[in-house]
Amino acid sequence: MPPTRPQRAKSPEAAPTGPSRRAPRVDRHCRALHEDGSDCRARLLHASHVFCPAHHREYKRLYESYKRTEKHYSGIESKADGADDVKTTIKAKVAAGRETLRLRDQVNRRFFSFSVQNRGHVKWIMKLQSEVLALERELERELAAPEAPEAKGSASPRRPPKPQSLSPLDPAVPLSALGHLPVSSPIVVLRQASDAILTAKIKELYSISPALDDSSSLVLDDVDPGVTRELDDRDYIIRFFFRELIAQKADADVLARAARTQSINTFLRESSAEHVEGYIRFFHAFQEGRHHTLHILRDAVCDYLLIDSKSPSTTILGAGIATDDSPRRMTSRGWDLLWTNFHDIVGWWNLELFAVQFDDLVAVKALTACQRYGTGTPSEDDEDDKDNEDNRDDVSSWYVPNEDVSQESALAVLHGFIAVTKGFSDHDSPRVEAEPAFAKERQTRCYLVGRMSKQDPVARQLAQELAERIASFVVLVYDREKEGEAASALVLPAPPDANPWIGRSRTAPTNEALGSQPWTVEWSLADVLSDIGLIHSLRDRNMAKDYYEFIIIDRTPGKTFDILDAVADALSKLKGDSPFDQVFRQVIAKYVPAEERDQYLEAVAQMDFGQPTLSAPPQYLGNRVRSWDIPNSLRAILGAALQDSSRVTTLHESRLISHVAADLESHGVTARITEYEASHTCPIAVRGVDGLDDLYFHYDMGPMSERVIRGSVLDFDPSINSLTEFAEAYHRAHPNAVFAKGSIKVHYCAWPMPMLAGPRYSRLNFRTPEGRLYRWKALPFDIPLASRVWQVFVNHELNSRLPFARLQQTTLLICAENRDDAESSAKALSEIGEKHGWSFSIPPPASWLSDVKGLGLETLWEGVRAAL
């Protein structure tokens, strides 16, 4: 593939230590803060909860309080008839607005301090602040305006109140403003000391992140200290990171000051040392890749990408940040920025934290599958220095298919399916374990959890496709945007078992007694859903739930994990089995920037994907009778293949079998089974002498007793040709007779007669390699004695009713006493055919022959040959 994105150089001294590649430990504690700002350490009752019960109740109480005050604020009309009424009304509205701000600010700081949901609170607070400030200015104007005299000689107008002065210790007050005080004044000394502490703290913050110093158009280089340089993308993003930090974590007063201040440097020098110390701690946490800092980095990148857009924004520290999530997206440009500038913080394991919409995650996973963000293999330098970990490149690839389950199948990712987690069974471990006092049997089933965008039209098709493969999988698909219990979010009908098992066991005193013991479920769907809840709470809570979530469980225990391959196969089938290179080209055209596409397309052209090109399966039904004219050398191969359960079905064969099975269903030969039952067989495809593959079914009906057949209606050989004998006898009876040789059209894999009644036959089914189940409605060729049963049926329904016609297997002989009677014979045959839904192929009456030898009756039409 093309070279990966360029790396931003970092010195070993300046490079922060990246986070572990293992997912961070799940925090099951309450996310609220106490009134003093300390963390609540109460345990959550459930992984999906955010607050402990006490803080949940307090949150609801505060929420209801500020909603009441907000309603009161909105209900106050600032316009009135008299001047006094106007002033009184404005004062009341300002007071109500301030109280609403206080309550909302408390909710913001204590209950949404680490949440992306904070953005809505910030937007609301700043909107209300602007309204309250406008009201205060209006009130000042009202107080400053001369009052209309009520009578001659009325009192002079009141002066406006003096603005409230700041404390001389406030950093916002210049030290020069204290020049009227003696140098030895305690206020001056305290102020000088606090300024010195503040300056030291700001210097420390700048040493951590030089980009924050916007007092100059240049910035100190963090690789080569002491050298200044032009600002790059990372510097701008760091500044937006600080703006987002203020917007999402600061209280209302600090936020208001940030909105009025035009530079970060000025803002910091007007801040308290305590606040700057908080920023230092946060930037240290950011450099360490701490979980609660990463969504702010995501928002900073989005702000940087939206600089020139006209999306809703508010100005913080001289630049606009978005106040609405709708325009925020992590585009390819955004992921490139993260990879190039923050690969020391952003790893493959936390990419979900940076996606706004699920489609953003699909984009980065697809680009990663194209190896845009690393190849997953060590560089030459890494190989040279593999014994010296300190000298190895600290750049980690986002393409790690051996660790990242979402990258295990590149084809699934490129088609838009993102795997989340999986479980697999240990098929090498013994199924039955002998303990000293008892025997224990354990079974486990593989499962996969994955997601697909609701905007992708193939997502619903994939859900239906997988759900129809009931012999292979138990499939549940959830719409995570729907509220309520999990069952109400199901996209497909719920399976009969509401809680399918993943792992189960049973014990008995002996191995022989195990079969009669009940199973104990050790792991089930409920546990998988709990794991998904933890994943969402820890990693995915800031991403929109605009996706379908698939939970796919293997039907058969003990299998090797191949569910992801099956998903990729289903997606390929739904999209027309496009070649790999075409799939890559589509992804490149969709996600790779235009100026780089040619480079990627050239690389794809040189790649060998090793995938055979699949052609559309031929149309068999109505066009082909199954060939039985197989060379003798192949008959033994066919017989062995039908009984070989370990035979591997190729992709071409699987597509052919599925195509023919669907065709059989559409023609009423079979019916699809919608609830799981054990399958009796799976067809195989074997190539005939005509070069086309044919389907064969192996049904093991048990040993067949010759004594039972002997003397019954089935005691005959259907391959013995009796047509010549019948024709000669008819000719002797009718010297002027005419004859025609024809055939009956049969289904591709079944005789045109109803399936036999009784439980032994009526429940016979088969499965396709993909996992669909079908039941026969017509008699299949390949059950034992099927051709004899067909001949008995034909003898009863046709041969015994029409003395001038004889049907043997598929070969038809029709006669007429003379040429004038040929039409009536053909009509009588047609009436029998209409009754049973049969279709015959015979020459027109004018072409019938009077010479029996010219009919070629010594040879039957070939095809069909049944089970071996």
Q: What are phi and psi of 3, to 5 degrees?
A: -60, 150
pLDDT value at 139 more than 70: no
Confidence of residue 72 (pLDDT cuts 50, 70, 90): confident
Q: Comparing 233-247, 620-634, 763-777, which segment has the lowest mean pLDDT?
A: 620-634
pLDDT at 146: 54
Distance CA 541, CA 842 (A): 71
Q: 143 or 256: whose pLDDT is higher?
A: 256
Give per-residue pLDDT as tens, 470-513: 999 999 999 988 865 555 688 888 888 889 999 999 999 888 88
Closest by CA position to 361, among listed 540, 482, 596: 540
**How does pLDDT run across 312-334, given as a tens digit for each residue?**
678 899 998 887 666 678 999 99
Total Cβ atoms within 10 A of residue 127: 12
Region 434-460: what's the mean pLDDT?
Answer: 90
pLDDT for position 29: 73
What pairs with residue 441 in β-bridges?
432, 506
Rounded (10°) CA dihedral 232, 233, 239, 245: -160
Task: Tell me what pLDDT residue 839 has.
Answer: 93
Q: What is the pLDDT of residue 192?
A: 72
Residue 17: band (very low, low, confident or very high) from pLDDT cuts 50, 70, 90: very low
- Kindly list the domain boundaries of the chain, sorted by start residue: 53-144, 203-383, 419-576, 706-755+778-855
- For 792-831, write each residue's pLDDT tens digit: 999 999 999 999 999 998 899 999 999 999 999 999 999 9
Tell me what pLDDT residue 291 has: 84
Three state DSSP letters for 703-756: CCCHHHHCCCCCCCCCCCCCHHHHHHHHHHHCCCCEEEEEEECCCCCEEEEECC
Q: How confident is the model at residue 151 (pLDDT cuts 50, 70, 90)?
A: very low
Q: Is 143 helix (H, G, I), strand (E, B) or coil?
A: helix
What's the pLDDT band for 175 if we cut at 50, 70, 90? low
Instruction: Quickly count helices (H) and strands (E) in the chain.
Output: 25, 23
Position with higher pLDDT, 487 vs 41:
41
Average pLDDT, the chain: 81
* CA gap 867, 642 in Å, rounded: 9
For residue 636, pLDDT over 70 is answered with no
pLDDT at 644: 73
Mean pLDDT of 696-700: 86
Question: What pLDDT does residue 15 have?
Answer: 32
pLDDT band at 103 (very low <50, low <70, confident <90, very high): confident
- Counting every residue written for the chain, the total comes to 868
Between CA 133 and CA 665 the distance in angstroms is 73
Distance CA 472, CA 682 (A): 12
Say what percent of the chain tops pLDDT 70. 76
If one compares 29 and 805, the residue with the highest pLDDT of the two is 805
- Give tens-digit pLDDT for 129-138: 556 666 666 6
Look at residue 325 in the predicted model and tell me its pLDDT.
62
**CA-wise closest residue to 771 among 522, 555, 490:** 555
Reported as half-sphere exposure (CB side, CA atoms, 13 A), residue 408 has a value of 20
pLDDT at residue number 130: 59
- Among candidates 286, 274, 240, 205, which has minimal Cα distance to 37? 274
- Measured CA distances, 177 to 83, 169, 172, 270 (Å): 38, 11, 11, 14
pLDDT beyond 70 at 390: no
**C-alpha angle 197-199-202 in degrees, rounded to nearest 5:** 110
* Average pLDDT of the segment spanning 691-702: 83
Q: CA Rg, the chain, in Å?
A: 40
Give the per-residue pLDDT at 484: 57
**10-14, 219-223, 390-394: segment of lowest average pLDDT:** 10-14
Report pLDDT digits (tens) over 278-295. Answer: 999 999 999 988 888 998
Instruction: Give me the mean pLDDT over the 228-241 stretch.
Output: 94
What is the rounded CA–CA span in Å between residue 331 and residue 591? 8
* Mean predicted confidence (pLDDT) in 674-703: 85
> Of 189 and 662, which is predicted with more confidence?
662
pLDDT digits (tens, 9 = 90+) for 332-386: 999 999 999 998 889 998 999 999 999 999 999 999 999 899 887 654 444 444 4
The Cα–Cα gap between 144 and 160 comes to: 5
Among the listed residues 721, 746, 760, the one whose alpha carbon sits nearest the alpha carbon of residue 856: 721
Q: Give first-to-last CA distance, the chain, whole Å.
A: 51
Q: What is the pLDDT of residues 393-440, one digit of tens each?
A: 445 789 999 999 999 999 999 999 999 999 987 655 556 676 667 888
Give CA–CA dist 848/824, Å, rounded.
13
Gap between the Cα atoms of 470 and 484, Å rounded: 27
pLDDT at 722 over 60: yes
Q: Residue with structure tokens 């949404």?
A: 112
Residue 160 clears pLDDT 60, i.e. is over it: no
Separation in Å, CA 276 to CA 262, 294, 824: 18, 20, 106
pLDDT band at 240 (very low <50, low <70, confident <90, very high): very high
Identify the H or E element spanning 554.
strand 547-554
pTM of the predicted protein model: 0.77
pLDDT at 2 over 70: no
pLDDT at 248: 84
Is the separation of the CB atoms in 828 and 821 below 8 Å? no
Which CATH topology does 706-755+778-855 take?
Answer: Alpha-Beta Plaits (3.30.70)
